[in-house]
Amino acid sequence: MKKILLVGNGGREHALCEALFQSPQEKEIYNFATAINPGIKKLAKEIIVGNIMDLVELKRIAQKIQPDFAIIGPDDPIGIGSTDALAEIGVPSFAPTKACAQLEGSKSFTRNLLKKYNIDASPAFKVFENVQQTSLRKKFFDDFRGQIVVKADGLLGGKGVLVAGDHFTDFEEAEDFAVKSIQKFGRVVLEEKLLGEEFSLISLVDGETVLDTPAIQDHKRAFEGDTGPNTGGMGCISDERHSLPFLTSQDIKQAHHITVQTMKAIASELGEKFVGVMYGGFIVTARGIKLIEYNARFGDPEALNILPILKTDFIDICEKAIQGKLSEIGELEFSPYATVVKYLCPNGYPTNPVKNGEIFDRRKTNVCSPVSKVFFASVAEENGKLLLKGSRAIGVVGMGKTLEEANNACESEIKKFSGPLFYRKDIGTQSLIQKRTEHMKEIRG
Ligand code: AMP
Ligand code: GLY
C-alpha cells in the first residue's frame, strides 16, 4: 500500500489527486489543504486542513502519516522549502528543493543561469540592485523605445511582471515598480519585450532525464478577445498531436533542448538535482524560441489538459523521478486527444468576484461523459450547496479527436452548470485558433 501526501487544494491539485487515484497501484492519498476541495474529498483517505505555508505543521502531519512520498502542487509552499523540510524527516517529494525552486522564484537567478551556461534563450536583459541607478534603467528603457518588461525578483502571486503597453506606458511607472522590487527583493530584472506566440511546455524531470507533456497554450486575459486584466489562466488548449496548430515539431524540440540544458546547468550550479516539474513558458519569435520564464510546478489550468490524457502510471512517474530513474519510463504515453479546458469563474472575477454565490451542478452523477472531466477549484460544499469562494471555480475539460470536437465536448459539459458564473467561450474556437495562426505567420515572416 502506497501512502502519498498531496499538498494544495486548487483545480490543479484535484487533477493531480485524480491522476494518482487512477494509478493501478494500491494507494491512500492524504491531502494537506487550505480548505476542503469537494473533488479531492471523494478521492482522498483524509484531508488535513491547515496552513500549507507552515513547515513545522507540514512536518508534523507527515510524521504522523509516514507517506512514501509527497507531491506539492502550488508554487508558494515549494518556494519556501517544503521539499527540504520533508527531507529532514526522511520523506522524499516530487517537487524541487528551495534552492532549485529559485528557477521560478527568482527571475534574476534564471536569467543569470542561462547566461553563465551559454543557453541561448533569453531576451536582452539587465539586473539592477541599486535604487540610485535610475539613469541606467532609463537608458535600458530608451534603448528598447520603452518596449520592455519589468520583473520583480520574487513571488508576488502573479503580479510580479509588468509589460509595456499592458501595465505601463511611460518610464516613471516602470521605474516606480522597479524601485519597489529592489526595496522588497534586493533586485529587479529589466528585459526586452518579445513579440510572438506563447506556449507552455511542461516537463517532468529527475535531474538527468526530461520527459515532455503535450505543448499547451494558456489564455491569461479575463475576457473574450484577450481583453481585460490578467488572471491565473482562463483556459488552455492542446491539439491531437499534443502540440498547437501554429507550432512545428522543431519549435518543441528547441524548447525541450532549452529545458535539458537548464536542468543540467542547475545541477552544475547548485550541486543539486532538480526533481519535479520544469514548466517552461516559451515564446516563438522571429529569432526562434525564447524563454519567458520557468515555473517549478504544474500549471493551472495546464495540468487539467495534461493529466486526464496521461496513460503512464503517475505514481510510478513520481517515484522514478524521486529515485533518479525517469529514464526507465522511456516516454510518457498520452491518449491521442486534443484537449480544451475552460475555467468557470465567479462574476466580477478577478477584480471584484461575487462570493458564496450558489453553483447548480446538473450532472446526473459525478461521472462525466468519457470525453469530459470536471475539476473543482475555488468552491466549497456547505450544507449540501456548492458555493463560489472568489477565484477560478470549476475547470471543465473537453477531449476529442480534433480541437473542434474537444471544444464541443467542453461546451456541452459547461451547460450542466449554472449560477453567477462566466467563462471565455472563445477559447478553443476555430476563429481564435485562426487568429493565433495568422499572428504566427506574420511573426515568422
Ligand atoms: P507571470 O505569469 O505573471 O509571470 O507573467 C508573465 C507574462 O508576462 C508572460 O506570460 C508574458 O505574457 C509576459 N512576459 C514576460 N516576459 C516577457 C518578455 N520578455 N516579453 C514579452 N512578454 C513577456
Ligand atoms: N496557467 C499559468 C500558471 O499556472 O502559472
Instruction: State residue 157's pLDDT score.
Output: 75
Q: Which ligand is nearest to the CA of 202?
A: 2
Q: Which ligand is nearest to the CA of 156?
A: 1
226 CA distance to ligand 1 centroid (A)? 14
pTM of the model: 0.96
Instruction: State residue 155's pLDDT score.
Output: 80
Weakly modelled stretches of the chain, pLDDT under 70 = 365-369
136 CA distance to ligand 2 centroid (A)? 32
Q: Which domains does the chain have, with CATH numbers?
A: 2-97 (3.40.50.20), 124-192 (3.30.1490.20), 197-432 (3.30.470.20)
Residues 244-295 have pLDDT tens digits of 999 999 999 999 999 999 999 999 999 999 999 999 999 999 999 999 999 9
316 CA distance to ligand 2 centroid (A)? 25
Alpha carbon separation from 110 to 1, 199, 211, 330, 402 (Å, rounded): 39, 18, 21, 28, 36
**190 SS3 class:** strand
Q: Which ligand is nearest to the CA of 219?
A: 2
Helix H or strand E segment including 42: helix 38-43
77 contacts 276 by C-beta, under 8 angstroms = no
Residue length of the chain = 445
291: left (phi over 0), alpha (psi -120 to 50) or beta: beta
The neighbouring-strand residues paired with 223 are 227
Given the CA of residue 301, which atom of ligand 2 is nearest to it? 1
Mutate to test the pocket of ligand 1, among 114, 140, 147, 149 (most ligand atoms within 8 A of CB): 149
- Establish whether residue 167 lines the binding site of ligand 1, counting it when its CB lies within 6 angstroms of any ligand atom: no
Residues 160-171 have pLDDT tens digits of 999 999 899 999
